[in-house]
Amino acid sequence: MIRTADDLIAEATRRLGCAANLAQQPDTPAGDAFAAQIRLTRATLTTAPSGEVPDDPRGTSVVAELERALAALDLIDPLEGPPELLLAAWNIAELTRLARRNQHPA
Q: What is the pLDDT of residue 3?
A: 87
Residue 58: domain span: 5-102
Q: Report the domain count for the chain.
A: 1
pLDDT per residue of the chain (106 residues) written in tens, 0 to 9: 778 999 999 999 999 999 999 998 777 788 889 999 999 999 999 765 555 555 555 678 999 999 999 999 999 999 999 999 999 999 999 999 999 998 744 3
CA atoms 63, 65, 68, 72: torsion sign: negative
Report the distance separating Cα 73 and Cα 88, nearest Å. 9
3-state helix, strand, coil in the chain (%, to 5): 65, 0, 35
Q: What is the pTM of this model?
A: 0.85
